[in-house]
Amino acid sequence: MIHTKALQSLLLVASALLPVGCSSLGLSDPSPIWVVQEAPMVSERVLWVVCENAMVKQGFPVLAKEFDPKSREAHSGWQLDLHPFKNQGFRERAVVAYGLGSPGKLELRVRVEREINENLAKPLDPSLAKWSREGDNEQRAQILLQTILSTLSTRD
């Protein structure tokens, strides 16, 4: 009887530590990688038009009609890049956020989320894709941010 209670206690502690162990092994979702830079102060409408044009220029489908007023974020649609081999196909989505920066400036934050297709049977069929979260594409986020900034800086 004593051994049973000790075993139950040990199993309870082990099950409580399991999520910690998984995250330390890198099995949890990767942290978002935001690219941040200040930009000239413009209206939200002007900022949205510039961001929308930059997303289109970089190949992201645009779904939103403007920034979400609560989160001050805009999400593009998913840009697909399918391949015939498992884990080679992927999709990416841009997220642009803004807030107040230093006086007279906006703080722009950009990230590009990336997911890979783990479907082995039919990796070229997007309706059967099995998407798995992968780390953000920081380089692509930097390119998108630079596209936005270069358009805003020519408005002066």
How far is Cα 139 from Cα 132, in angstroms, rounded to an integer? Answer: 20
Quick one: how many helices (H) and strands (E) in the chain? 3, 6
Residues 8, 75, single domain; the answer is: no
Residues 14, 47, single domain; the answer is: no
Residues 3, 55, single domain; the answer is: no
Residues 37, 8, single domain; the answer is: no
What number of other Cβ atoms are within 10 A of residue 114's Cβ? 19
Residues 16, 91, single domain; the answer is: no
Residues 96, 147, single domain; the answer is: yes
For residue 85, what pLDDT is reported?
Answer: 76
**Residuewise pLDDT in 10s, the chain (156 residues):** 555 555 454 444 444 444 444 444 445 668 999 999 999 999 999 999 999 999 999 999 998 788 888 999 999 999 999 888 777 889 999 999 999 999 999 999 999 999 999 888 887 888 888 899 999 999 999 999 999 999 998 655
Residues 49, 93, single domain; the answer is: yes
Backbone angles phi, psi at 98, to 5 degrees: -140, 160
Residues 85, 108, single domain; the answer is: yes
* Predicted TM-score (pTM) of this structure: 0.77
Q: Show the DSSP H helices in the chain as ranges.
A: 2-24, 44-57, 138-153
Structural domains of the chain, count: 2
How far is Cα 93 from Cα 116, in angstroms, rounded to an integer? Answer: 12
What number of other Cβ atoms are within 10 A of residue 27's Cβ? 9
| DSSP SS3 for 59 | coil
Residues 128, 97, single domain; the answer is: yes
For residue 87, what pLDDT is reported?
Answer: 73
Which range of residues forms the domain containing residue 21?
Answer: 1-29
For residue 23, what pLDDT is reported?
Answer: 40
Residues 25, 76, single domain; the answer is: no
Residues 56, 126, single domain; the answer is: yes
Handedness of CA 120, 123, 127, 130 (dihedral sign): positive
Residues 25, 36, single domain; the answer is: no
For residue 56, what pLDDT is reported?
Answer: 95
DSSP structural state of residue 66: S
